[in-house]
């Protein structure tokens, strides 16, 4: 499924979502790899098979297989980290902050793509998953890497739009196995 076909699945009650998706696709703030990695990682974080399939199809056209794999890794590693670090951040017992996480995170140390791209993807997934501690850590790493506030805000805006596409499709009841084909 293409992104244009995905736009066609967005119901009229979510016209703003459709318009935001169209404007996001025309946005040239980020490089193609940054943009399509964001779309894919955010789609995976949305847990919507229709949105994920469309974004993976689009990403596979402009990204190398290694970069597609890295975007998938950002989504999966951050799914784990966002749960753990959100707990550590929100739990009232301060002892958890002193305990080692004991979570394997090799992709964070060696993302196999430009580190700033991987950090943008991790930030977007963290925003979708609502982990403030992870958002702060990735935003700080991006700022230290010289990434502009505009690019960081664009990444989070893209994550918000991808998430809203997933919700609109689910609200319309268009997320059945038959609809994904």
**What does each of the 181 residues of the chain score in pLDDT, given as a tens digit?**
899 999 999 999 999 999 999 999 999 999 999 999 999 999 999 999 999 999 999 999 999 999 999 999 999 999 999 999 999 999 999 999 999 988 877 766 676 889 999 999 999 999 999 999 999 999 999 999 999 999 999 999 999 999 999 999 999 985 554 444 4
- Closest to 151 (Cα-Cα) out of 164, 138, 165: 138
Question: Which residues span the domain enclosing 172?
Answer: 3-180
Give the number of domains in the chain: 1
Contacting residues for 87 by C-beta, under 8 A, at least 6 apart: 96
pLDDT, position 104 = 79
Closest CA to 55 of 169, 172, 173: 169
Say whether 130 sits in a helix, a strand or coil.
Answer: coil
**Residue 179: its pLDDT value, please?**
45
Q: What angle do CA 118, 24, 21 make, to 5 degrees?
A: 115
Q: How far apart are CA 131 and CA 110, in angstroms?
A: 22
Question: Residue 177: its pLDDT value, please?
Answer: 46
pTM of the complete model: 0.91
Residues with catalytic function = 131, 134
User: Domain with 26 in it: what CATH number?
Assistant: 1.20.1290.10
CA-CA distance, 164 to 128, in Å (whole number)? Answer: 10
pLDDT at 107: 67
Rounded to 5°, the CA angle 28-32-35 comes to 75
């Amino acid at each position: 499924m293409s992104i244009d076909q995905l736009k066609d699945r967005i119901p009229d009650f979510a016209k703003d979502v459709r318009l935001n998706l169209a404007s996001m696709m025309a946005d040239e703030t980020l490089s193609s790899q940054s943009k399509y990695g964001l779309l894919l990682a955010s789609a995976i974080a949305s847990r919507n098979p229709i949105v994920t399939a469309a974004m993976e199809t689009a990403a596979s056209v402009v990204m190398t297989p290694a970069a597609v794999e890295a975007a998938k890794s950002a989504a999966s590693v951050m799914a784990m980290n966002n749960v753990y670090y959100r707990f550590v951040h929100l739990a009232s017992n301060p002892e958890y902050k002193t305990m080692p996480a004991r979570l394997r995170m090799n992709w964070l140390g060696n993302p196999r793509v430009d580190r700033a791209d991987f950090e943008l993807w991790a930030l977007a997934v963290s925003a979708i998953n609502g982990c403030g501690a992870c958002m702060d850590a990735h935003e700080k790493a991006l700022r230290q890497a010289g990434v502009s506030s505009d690019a960081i805000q664009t990444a989070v805006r893209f994550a918000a739009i991808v998430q809203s596409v997933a919700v609109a499709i689910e609200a319309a009841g268009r997320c059945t196995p038959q609809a994904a084909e």
